[in-house]
Amino acid sequence: MDRCPRAAATVATRQGIGYDFHRLVVRRPFVLAGVLVPFARGPLGHSDGDPLAHAVADAMLGSLGAGDIGELFPDRDPAFRGMAGLEIIRRTRAVARERGFVPVQVDTVVVCQAPALSPFRRAIVTALAGALGIDPGLVGLKFKTTEGLGPIGRGRAISAFAVVVMENQ
């Protein structure tokens, strides 16, 4: 016999997934979770194009069934032009808090051929943890390439994935 569906308000732990993809173009800063990485190209976007921050924010919204950052921060709205990715995370966290939820853990993957990101791992983890209000030990961050294949492999694009766990407070 089918169970009655649980009301959303009674689910105390939530998971969400987020994904983002940006072109890499010249004369744009290369920013990941607000950390500036010296490189000849950077993500193109209406905001700062920070794919890791955007994936994390979308994961939070997904956990709440609250749409996506394209709805919250439309790229047609000049108010969000150049908005920092970490600010988008902070605002999304505020939306979650209004609904009674806080992030407790996040895991992420950044897919990028170049530049080498490992030297920036600690700074990126620290920045993400700070924006989410969680311990850096609860932030996962992996760097992958596409072994030279496709637009990411040619250094023309970057993508990021995030999974977040949220708890009712």
Give dist(CA 152, CA 111) in Å, integer: 7
Handedness of CA 149, 16, 95, 75 (dihedral sign): positive
54 vs 93, which CB is nearer to Mg ion?
54
Binding segment (CB under 5 A) for Mg ion, from list 11-19, 46-54, 109-117, 149-157: 46-54
Omega before residue 119 within 30° of 0, cis: no
Q: What are the tokens at 69? A: 């950052």
Residue 87 makes contact with Mg ion by CB under 5 A: no
Among 14, 20, 32, 160, which residue sits at the site for Mg ion (rule: CB under 5 A)?
20
Report the greatest alpha carbon distance in the chain.
60
- Nearest CB to Mg ion, comparing residues 57 and 125: 57
Instruction: Answer yes or no whether residue 54 interacts with Mg ion by CB under 5 A.
Output: yes
Interface with Mg ion by CB under 5 A: which range of 49-57, 109-117, 124-132, 157-165? 49-57
Q: How many residues does the chain have?
A: 169
Nearest CB to Mg ion, comparing residues 136 and 151:
151
CB of 91 to Mg ion, least distance (A): 14
**Nearest residue to the partner Mg ion, using Cβ:** 54
58 is a site residue for Mg ion (CB under 5 A): no
Q: Please, which residues have CB within 8 angstroms of residue 104's CB and are 6 or more apart in sequence?
A: 134, 138, 165, 166, 167
Q: Which residues bind Mg ion (CB under 5 A)?
A: 20, 54
